[in-house]
Amino acid sequence: MKIAVCMKYVPVIARIKFDYESKTIVREGVPSEINPFDLLGLVRAVELKNAHDDEVVVISMGPPSTNEGLTTCVALGADRVVLLSDRALAGSDTLATSRALSLILAKEQPDLIICGRNSTDGETGQVGPEIAQMMGIPHVSHVRKLHLHSDRKSVVVERMTDEGSQTIECELPAVICVTEGVAPELYPDKEHMELAQSIPAEVLTCADLPLSLDQFGANGSPTWVDEIRLVEPNRLGVLLEESTPEEAAKQTADALRLRLAELAVESESSAGQDFVILPRYPSGKKKSIWVVAENTKTGLAHVTLELLGKARELTQFTNSEVVAVLIAPPSEELISILATQGADRVLVLDNSQLGPVCGLAVANSFAAAVERENPYALLFAATADGGDLASRLAARLELGLTGDAIDLEINADGRLVQLKPALGGNVVAPIMSKTLPNLVTLRPGLLAPAIPEPRAVATVEHVPQLPFDGPDIRLLKEDFQEDLEGILLAKSPVVIGVGMGLGSPENMAEVQEMARSVGASIATTRDVVHEGWLAQQMMVGISGRTIAPTVYIAVGIRGAFNHTVGLQRSGVIIAINQNRRAVMFRSSDFGIVGTWEEFLPPLMEELRPILLELVATSD
């Protein structure tokens, strides 16, 4: 049996800087590493290999320096490594990347393809499902458990969802995109690294691929990045460096009272400005905007209402209808909600016989509907199902796809501008597509729903269920988890965020007790979750939640953009860090330079009455 692992060699994100004068990202001198999720996939592949005497081949695409990462892969147990390296690949977006990798994988003909959930330098997670679509095979994303059947012709995996988990079975070949929990994070020792030096990579160029050069690189990419925008920080940026813990606590508490009063005045003055019902254009089908609804066990996910609100805003420029796509059995209740929240038309794709939203059968029927009508844009939630379906659609129809956008706008040329954050949210990359319809996934929690219109009625149409007899995934079991910590975190007016600067998991109990004493919730970063200190439900940022507390206190958090992008709607941010150069201070209103052990206890004591009042008034 042959297992292929797709590996990306990525820059260490924490070391990347931005030159604000030249508006360029500075990568010079930044070290690289194997993408952490790809590393987990490789470790699991080697575990399977050792149990069954399989072959593991690592496939990568990048510059010659990628060889460093490939040597590490061999040292960890890979039998072969293949590197696609060619200047013509420069500027490849996810579709062009998936196209190139799928061609190499087709030549290798592996039984199982493992990819990481996403790459830390892009965070979109589109390549795995796009490869699967191009190869016509099943895929499962967000996998934390991966097991081979005894017949070695199929796999059973556990897939994480926004509501819990799914146990899914699929025949091989298949693409499995793995995440935390699938394997331990291992690194080779010096002896294995020295032995790996003797096994060079098999280097391929675009000339070895059966497509013309215009299918790769910037020319073969349906999306491009316009001029990067600088976002003026909206934080006060006050930094206390030489105060005693007691002085810093008192100054911060006094400043917080003033800032909260200012925010209250601003909130009152803006109240009512957004309570405007926007005009509808139900007959404007030429540039219709589709919203793919997210359905949960308790009804429509709130992100669906956010997407409908944004779609309604965009139609003020396109003068077109808003179409909601409901991938679920027909429900008058859900259709009514979609209509009152902005949908002029509802397309119902009953998947009760087709299978899960992320399967090939659903994508097949949905893609046919998109081809028939050719809308202007399709908006998906940046969730497990939303990302998978959008990726399959992009690969099938060869469309551009922007993942994890935070907002949308339409420029003077009528193009949809998809805004994606970087480096703490102070840098925004406007992404546009050469193809129609525009495809984009949007992060939950950042957009405002439209004002409900209780009397609104939508036209209802049913999407034909096309027959599909190809290989697909089978849902064996679904476990819904009552995510109490996540629910509390999403609604809490006071949140204490903890990072690796806490030192060790043993220190967590002290901070948690301080949080309990003021009714605050605990949030954390991806690194803390990777180390197993806290549960994933508590992670905030690109790979986690977006929250909007009135007060956020960051304790020992470095402040990488993949965390701070989840904090943009916070009222006031306070940071404690002993490193005065911590980038978290740039995203904070008030910063205290010092150790958390010295400065956090007196700060919490001074803030106690303020925070308790916030919690009490929010109940």
How far is CA 299 from its chain centroid? 22
pLDDT, position 566: 86
pLDDT, position 30: 82
Q: Which of 369, 411, 372 is nearest to 389 (CA)?
A: 369
Q: Which of 120, 123, 164, 118 is nearest to 141 (CA)?
A: 118
Would you say 346 and 323 are in contact if contact means Cβ atoms under 8 Å apart?
Answer: yes
CA separation (Å) from 299 to 303, 328, 454, 480, 490? 12, 11, 18, 14, 18
For 231, which DSSP code?
Answer: P
For 7, which DSSP code?
Answer: E
Using CA atoms, how far apart are residues 569 and 404, in angstroms rounded to an integer? 16
Instruction: Name residue 258's amino acid.
Output: L
Using CA atoms, how far apart are residues 376 and 485, in angstroms rounded to an integer? 39
Low-confidence ranges of the chain (pLDDT < 70): 13-14, 17-25, 27, 123, 232-233, 269-275, 422-426, 482-487, 619
Tell me the sheet residues that pair with 475.
Answer: 168
pLDDT, position 334: 97
Q: At what angle do helices 596-618 and 245-270 cross, to 10 degrees?
A: 30
Nearest 10 degrees: Cα torsion 259, 260, 264, 266:
30
Would you say 323 and 370 are in contact if contact means Cβ atoms under 8 Å apart?
Answer: no
pLDDT, position 12: 79
**What is the distance in angstroms between the CA of the first residue and the CA of the last residue of the chain?**
57
pLDDT, position 24: 61
Tell me the sheet residues that pair with 576.
Answer: 555, 592
Q: Which of 60, 69, 79 is nearest to 187 (CA)?
A: 69
Using CA atoms, how far apart are residues 155 and 324, in angstroms rounded to an integer? 34
pLDDT tens readout for residues 138-149: 999 999 999 999
543-555 per-residue burial string, b: 16 or more CB within 10 A, e: under 16: bbbbbbbbbbbbb
pLDDT tens readout for residues 303-336: 999 999 999 999 999 999 999 999 999 999 999 9
Percentage with pLDDT > 70 across the chain? 94
pLDDT tens readout for residues 458-503: 999 999 999 999 999 999 999 877 556 666 787 899 999 999 999 9
The two tokens of residue 47 are: 């575990």
The half-sphere exposure of 571 on its side-chain side, counting CA atoms within 13 A, is 21
CA angle 493, 545, 568 (to 5 degrees): 65
pLDDT, position 565: 80
Would you say 547 and 494 are in contact if contact means Cβ atoms under 8 Å apart?
Answer: no
